[in-house]
C-alpha cells in the first residue's frame, strides 16, 4: 500500500479522538465492490464475523474461521481507500490465551492490511486486550450481546434490561477501556445503560441496538439495505433491495424464457470481409 493511500486513510487515533464529538459512522462490509461504494460515506468498516450468517448461510457466527475472516478482509481492503477497516477475530482464535490472540491478530493484520481487530468480551478479556495493545495491535472491544457467546445467553437476548445486570456490564466496559481498546461496541443493550456507559468511559462507544447517545452507530449493511427479510428490531431499513433483486431476476428469467434476451444489442455480429 502506497504512503499516499495510507496518509488519506482514517486512523485509529482519529477514531479515538472522536469521543463526544461528531458521531462515528460505521457499517459492516464483506466485499471489495461494496467497500468502494461505502468508502466515501463511512468512517469505519467492520469485516464482521456476521459474514458467516450473512454471506455463508450459517445459523450462528461460531463456525467462522480465520481463513474466512482473512479472505473477506483482503477483499474489503482492496475496495476501501479512506475508511478505517477493522476485522473481527473469530470464535476460538483469541480466548485460550493472550499469546494465541496475538499470534492470530498479527496474522490478520499482516495478511489483510487492516488497521485493527475486534474481539468480544469484557473483564475476562481485559488481559488479552492489554497484551495486544501493548504489542502494537489496535483493538476494538465488544460487550453486551456478544454473538459468540449465545450458547451461554440462550440466544440473541438483549442485555441490561434490569438494573441488577448493570454493574457487571459496566465493569466489562471499564475493563476493556482501561486495557487500551480504542473503541467499544455496545450491542443489544438497554438504552439507558448504553447511554450511561457512554458517559462513563473515555473511549468512543459504537452502538448497535443500544443508544442514540453512543459516540457512533453500526449496522449490518445487508440489514439496512433490506436484504434480510426478518431484521432485528434495532435495524432501520434505508432500501428494499431484496425486493428489487427478486423483481430484477424475475424479469430476467421471463426474458430468457421468451427469447427476448439477449437482443441484437447484446450479441456480436460477424466482421465484414475485407
Please tell me the predicted confidence (pLDDT) of residue 260: 97
> Within a domain: residue 245?
no
> Within a domain: residue 250?
no
> Within a domain: residue 10?
yes
211 annotated as ligand-binding? no
Under-70 pLDDT residues of the chain: 1-7, 150-156, 274
> Within a domain: residue 177?
yes
For residue 153, report the phi and psi dihedrals to the nearest 5 degrees: -75, -20
216 with 44: CB under 8 angstroms? yes
C-alpha cell, 212: 442514540
Cis peptide before 262 (omega within 30 of 0): yes
Please tell me the predicted confidence (pLDDT) of residue 273: 81
Q: What is the pLDDT of residues 226-265, one digit of tens each?
A: 999 999 999 999 999 999 999 999 999 999 999 999 999 9
Residue written as grid cell 459468540: 148
> Within a domain: residue 191?
yes
Radius of gyration of the chain (CA): 21
If one counts the domains in the chain, the total is 1
Q: What is the pLDDT of residues 21-59, one digit of tens each?
A: 999 999 999 999 999 999 999 999 999 999 999 999 999
49 annotated as ligand-binding? yes
- Would you call 163 a catalytic residue per the annotation? no
Where in the sequence is the domain holding 45, given as residue range(s)?
2-224
For residue 83, report the phi and psi dihedrals to the nearest 5 degrees: -70, 150
C-alpha–C-alpha distance, residues 255 and 73, integer Å? 37
Please tell me the predicted confidence (pLDDT) of residue 156: 63
148 with 62: CB under 8 angstroms? yes
50 annotated as ligand-binding? yes
The DSSP code sequence of 56-67 is T--SSSTT--HH
| From 187, 191, 240, 246, active-site residue | 187
> Within a domain: residue 113?
yes
CATH number of the domain enclosing 202: 3.20.20.60
Please tell me the predicted confidence (pLDDT) of residue 5: 46
% pLDDT > 90, the chain:
91
What is the pTM (predicted TM-score) of this model? 0.93
> Within a domain: residue 216?
yes
> Within a domain: residue 264?
no
Amino acid at each position: 500500500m502506497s504512503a499516499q493511500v495510507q496518509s488519506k486513510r482514517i486512523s485509529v487515533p482519529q477514531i479515538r479522538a472522536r469521543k463526544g464529538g461528531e458521531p462515528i459512522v460505521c457499517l459492516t462490509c464483506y466485499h471489495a465492490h461494496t467497500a468502494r461504494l461505502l468508502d466515501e460515506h463511512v468512517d469505519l468498516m467492520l469485516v464482521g464475523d456476521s459474514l458467516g450468517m450473512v454471506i455463508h448461510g450459517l445459523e450462528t457466527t461460531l463456525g467462522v474461521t480465520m481463513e474466512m475472516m482473512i479472505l473477506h478482509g483482503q477483499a474489503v481492503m482492496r475496495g476501501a481507500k479512506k475508511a478505517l477497516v477493522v476485522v473481527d477475530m473469530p470464535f476460538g482464535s483469541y480466548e485460550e490465551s493472550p499469546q494465541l490472540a496475538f499470534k492470530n491478530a498479527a496474522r490478520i493484520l499482516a495478511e489483510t492490511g487492516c488497521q485493527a481487530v475486534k474481539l468480544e468480551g469484557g473483564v475476562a478479556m481485559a488481559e488479552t486486550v492489554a497484551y495486544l495493545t501493548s504489542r502494537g495491535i489496535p483493538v476494538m472491544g465488544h460487550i453486551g450481546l456478544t454473538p459468540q457467546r449465545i450458547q451461554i445467553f440462550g440466544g440473541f437476548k438483549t442485555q441490561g434490561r434490569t438494573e441488577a445486570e448493570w454493574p457487571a456490564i459496566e465493569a466489562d466496559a471499564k475493563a476493556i477501556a482501561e486495557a487500551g481498546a480504542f473503541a467499544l461496541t455496545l450491542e443489544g443493550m438497554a438504552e439507558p445503560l448504553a447511554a450511561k456507559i457512554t458517559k462513563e468511559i473515555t473511549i468512543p462507544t459504537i452502538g448497535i441496538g443500544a443508544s442514540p447517545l453512543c459516540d457512533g452507530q453500526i449496522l449490518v449493511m445487508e440489514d439496512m439495505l433490506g436484504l434480510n427479510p426478518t431484521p432485528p428490531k434495532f435495524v432501520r431499513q434505508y432500501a428494499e433491495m431484496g425486493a428489487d433483486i427478486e423483481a430484477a431476476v424475475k424479469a430476467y428469467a421471463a426474458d430468457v424464457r421468451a427469447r427476448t434476451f439477449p437482443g441484437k444489442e447484446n450479441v456480436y455480429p460477424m466482421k465484414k470481409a475485407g
